[in-house]
Amino acid sequence: MRDHRDAKLMAKALRQALKARGTSINHSDALEIVASQFGFSDWNVLSSIVEREARPPDTPQFEQAVPIVRIFDVGKAHEFYLGFLGFSVDWEHRYGENFPLYTQVSRAGLRLHLSEHAGDATPGCNMVVGMTGIRALHAELTGKNYRYMKPGLSEEGTRLELEVIDPFQNRIRFMERTDR
C-alpha cells in the first residue's frame, strides 16, 4: 500500500490515468492534488516532510543556535531585553542565593541565553538575526523612545538592517532580505 512517501509516483500515475481519459494536467498540479489528498495544504509542505523522512537516521541535523550573551547587571539586562526589545523570560537559574544569573529570554522564535557567569561569553559579541517584519520591529522600537538606544533602519543592498547594542556592548544585527 502506498503512503505519502510515494507522492511523486502517485502524481505520475494520476497524470497518466487522466491522460488515458483525455484530460491533461501538468506535473505540478498533480503534485498539489496528491498533497491535498493526504491532507497537506500544498506540495511544499508534503515535500519537506518526505525529504526529512528520507534522510538516514544518523545524518546530522542542526537546530537553531542559541547565543550566550554576557551581562553584568540583571536590572539593566531586563530593561533592555524585556522592556525595550520585548523578550520574555523563559526560565532563570542560579546555583544558590547571591550567585550569578543564567537565564533564557525569547521572542517570536528567537532565543538568547543571558549570563552573568564570567566564563560563559565575552562582552562585546556581535549576532546576526535573520527575520521578517523588520519595518514593524523598527517602528515598535522607535515608538518606545528608549533612552539609551535610537536604532535606525538601513538598506544594505538586498537586505534591511536594524542594529541594537545592549548596555554591555553586545550587538544584535536584525536583517531582512528584500530580494525574495
Burial class (CB in 10 A: 0-12, 13-18, 19+), 136: exposed
Picking from 1-5, 19-23, 142-146, 149-153, which range would have the lowest pLDDT averaged per residue? 1-5
| Residue 100 in grid coordinates | 550569578
Q: Which pLDDT score, from 0 to 100, does residue 177 have?
A: 94
Instruction: State the average pLDDT over residues 134-143.
Output: 97
Interval 28-63: pLDDT, tens: 888 888 888 888 888 888 888 777 777 777 778 778
Task: To the nearest 10°, report the CA torsion of 8, 14, 15, 21.
Answer: 170
Nearest to 120 by CA among 96, 101, 95, 98: 101
CB of 125 closer than 8 Å to CB of 65: no
Interval 94-108: pLDDT, tens: 999 999 999 999 999
Residue 77 confidence (pLDDT) above 90: yes
Q: Which pLDDT score, from 0 to 100, does residue 56 have?
A: 75
Nearest to 179 by CA among 154, 153, 152, 157: 157
Nearest to 86 by CA among 130, 170, 146: 146
95: left (phi over 0), alpha (psi -120 to 50) or beta: alpha
**% the chain with pLDDT above 70:** 99
Q: Which pLDDT score, from 0 to 100, does residue 1 have?
A: 65
pTM of the predicted protein model: 0.69
Q: Which pLDDT score, from 0 to 100, does residue 164 have?
A: 97
